[in-house]
Chain A
Amino acid sequence: MKTATPLTIETRLYNGISIVPEPATLMFSGPMASVISRSTASQYPVTKLRVSPRIGTADRFVSLPDGIQLQCADGPLLDRLPQEGRTEGLVAWLEHRWWVALFSLMVTVMALLAGYFAGLPVAAEKISARIPIEYEKSLGEESLAWMDQRKLFMPSDLPSETQGLLEGSFRELHQGLSMDAHYRLEFRRAPAIGPNAFALPGGIIVITDEMILKTGSPGEALAVLAHEIGHVEQRHVMRHVLQNSVVATVAATLTGDASSLSLAVSGLPVLLAQAKYSREFEAEADEFAFALLRQNNISPGLFADLMERLSEGRGEKRQSWSFLSSHPVTASRVMRARQAARE
């Protein structure tokens, strides 16, 4: 049989039995390939050969049908042989090019920014609106029971008349809202936590005795409750869970390689990214509260008064650290509330 000069590749042959390699020459022309080493000379149909995927500039392996492997330097000749995996060849082609890498980098950065600032919050809002709040109920009960068990929450010392009065105005406040049927107000004493109020999953709102003692009027207590109602109406619990888990997952994917220091490297950026979402939820709940209060003829200024009183004891954190905080700076919340009171 006459053919053109055969193409040859110098290789090292591993027969799978001995660990010692043998030098061998792979030649192919037309439909047949032959492998010639000092100890063997065999022929194979070219279609039965398989070349391992290209990766960087590393040597590649040609597998022969009888289990022998040939190691050889990467080169264009190998592209003429049947490949082991088709998709990997395409990916290898992409990986080989700097312009593809730079394009990927650009697209990745843009996608991450767009996803973080716009896509994720919007998607979380849309998705949470479709999940009935009933699903959160058991979660809320669990959290409340957990706080009670740990003695973080203790039974309230407030007289039942005070509780009854507040409950009445609370009911009036959330009447007609979309989550109306799901609200429940709980009073707890919480010496370990201090003056605070929480919107738990499923519409359970907890207000601490310490918070009520700080209020100068029932209106101020209602201002706080309006803020928590804002969290419930806008499904912040669900959105918080969705957004934070996506942020954590993406961060883990990005830094997965540097696993020895993965947490050390990604921990702080993830916290910052999540804190920004948290501040946005707070601001959103504030805005909701101001509108709700005005509808009920309560001045949003009361919210400002209470916030100021609460911050007196603490000494507000410096403005420069605000990006670390889960809540917006008090001064700006107060300012916004006073502005809303004038509107």
Chain B
Amino acid sequence: MNDKNPTLVPADLRSSGSTTVNSNPASPPSQPGLTLQFTGSAGEYFRIWIVNLCLTLFTLGIFSAWAKVRKKRYFYSHTLLDGTPFQYLGQPIPILKGRLIAAMLFGVWYTATHYVTSLLPFVLIAAFILAPWVMVRAAAFNARYSAFRNMTFSFAGTYTSAAKVMYGWAILALVSLGMAFSWWQQRLKKYIVDQTSYGGVNGEFSATGGQFFKTYFIAGLLFAIAMIAAFMLLSIGTAAGGENSFMVAWVVGIYAIYIMAYAYIQARITNLVWNNTQLGPLRFKSSIGVRSLLRLYLTNALAILATAGLLIPWATMRTLKYRADHLSVIATEGLHEFRGSEDGSVRAVGAEVGDFFDFDMSI
């Protein structure tokens, strides 16, 4: 087989109708793209959503673990890279265990913050100790139960290494009154990417804290300007004597500013993270625009509110399709660097499901 061939599909499969391997016309011919498509449909997902929701309600939430598997399976199975769907291998029982633990922790947290405030210091200390563990468990579960072409992802992070990244930089962020927040975020992302591997190849993350800082700084600046304008309007409005309706308009305005800032950060940070992530020969190009993402969020929110939630599945499909459409995968050389191993195979995963400590903390 030709090692220089950068696509993953041999010539004899390319002719079959279901797999099309186009070189992305937008990118130069030296960097051919692997097609990434999302093929989910709103009608199909609506049925999955409502049936699982109904079963969840009537089992008082127990079925939610099974529902999560079905939904994740749908998302993964309809995301195709180079003609091959991703596979979600998570099993309901570990997810149910994770949810029960999460519910318990949330109950303790809620009680301590709302009712028995004298417990709060202890709960905070426990949360401080548990947070790196939760992060590592969630990342490990997600990686291990995600597969592509009969090879699973894996996550090599440990409690101590996670705690170092989480708290070493968090303390700096506190000391610098938030100035170092961007660097902390960058370290966290870098940690997740660098510790994740696929087919024996580790991810590499090259975005700098400065790049994160730039994004957060601009977002903060825009937010501050918008807030000042809103407050000035409010004082003019109250002086003019407008009451309830003006207050409502003002609240809606603040809401809009919040959503704009959110969309800005989401778009820019997602682009930044993908564009600086490399997995062996694979590079990524994320091109989410702030305005188009904002339009997506607003139309989704309006559609959901106007139909009392009936269009939630439609919004979900749209969002996933939008994401796939704005992400391209570029292979810089042959992909033979990825080699499966015995313990990374899909079969090895199933055997581990009985492990007591195997549960999903990613809600």
Q: A56-B77, A139-B116 are in contact. Are A19 and B57 (CB under 8 A)?
A: no
| B residues near A20, Cβ cutoff 8 Å | 1, 8-10, 335-336
Q: Is B48 an interface residue (CB 8 A)?
A: yes
| A residues near B51, Cβ cutoff 8 Å | 91, 94-95, 100-101, 104
> Does the CB pair B44–A56 fall under 8 Å?
yes
Q: Is B41 an interface residue (CB 8 A)?
A: yes
Q: Is A257 an interface residue (CB 8 A)?
A: yes
> Does the CB pair B312–A258 fall under 8 Å?
yes
> Does the CB pair A257–B52 fall under 8 Å?
no
> Does the CB pair A56–B41 fall under 8 Å?
yes
Q: Which of A244-280 contact B (CB under 8 A)?
A: 245, 249-250, 253-255, 257-258, 260-261, 264-265
> Does the CB pair B50–A19 fall under 8 Å?
no
Q: Is B142 an interface residue (CB 8 A)?
A: no
Q: Which of A137-188 contact B (CB under 8 A)?
A: 138-139, 142-143, 146
* Interface bits B130-152 vs A (CB < 8 Å: 1, else 0): 00000000000000000001110
* Interface bits B26-54 vs A (CB < 8 Å: 1, else 0): 00000000000001110011111111111
Choose one: A18, A23, A108, A142; the contact of B54 (CB below 8 Å).
A108
> Does the CB pair A255–B312 fall under 8 Å?
yes
Q: A91-B52, A254-B309 are in contact. Are A108 and B57 (CB under 8 A)?
A: yes
Choose one: A95, A142, A245; the contact of B117 (CB below 8 Å).
A142
Q: Is B97 an interface residue (CB 8 A)?
A: no
> Does the CB pair A100–B301 fall under 8 Å?
no
> Does the CB pair B77–A16 fall under 8 Å?
no
> Does the CB pair A67–B345 fall under 8 Å?
yes
**A-B interface pairs (CB < 8 A), number:** 175
Complex CA–CA separation, A59 to B86 (angstroms): 10
| A residues near B61, Cβ cutoff 8 Å | 249, 253
A201 closest partner in B (C-beta): B115
> Does the CB pair B244–A95 fall under 8 Å?
no
Complex CA–CA separation, A131 to B53 (angstroms): 31
Choose one: B47, B78, B199, B259; the contact of A95 (CB below 8 Å).
B47
Complex CA–CA separation, A69 to B147 (angstroms): 11
| B residues near A16, Cβ cutoff 8 Å | 150-151, 340, 344-347
> Does the CB pair B53–A108 fall under 8 Å?
yes
Q: Is A73 an interface residue (CB 8 A)?
A: yes
Complex CA–CA separation, A55 to B341 (angstroms): 28
Complex CA–CA separation, A321 to B247 (angstroms): 12
> Does the CB pair B47–A257 fall under 8 Å?
no
> Does the CB pair B338–A19 fall under 8 Å?
yes
Residues of B within 8 A of A (CB): 1, 8-10, 12-13, 16, 18, 39-41, 44-58, 61, 64, 66, 69-71, 73-74, 77-78, 84-85, 87, 110, 115-118, 149-151, 199, 244, 255, 259, 266, 297, 300-301, 304-305, 309-310, 312-313, 315-316, 319, 335-336, 338-341, 344-347
A-B contact pairs, 7 of them (CB 8 A): A20-B8, A56-B44, A95-B70, A97-B47, A104-B53, A250-B57, A257-B313
Residues of A within 8 A of B (CB): 10, 12, 14-23, 52-53, 55-59, 61, 63, 67-69, 71, 73, 87-88, 91, 94-98, 100-101, 104-105, 107-108, 111-112, 138-139, 142-143, 146, 201, 245, 249-250, 253-255, 257-258, 260-261, 264-265, 317-318, 321
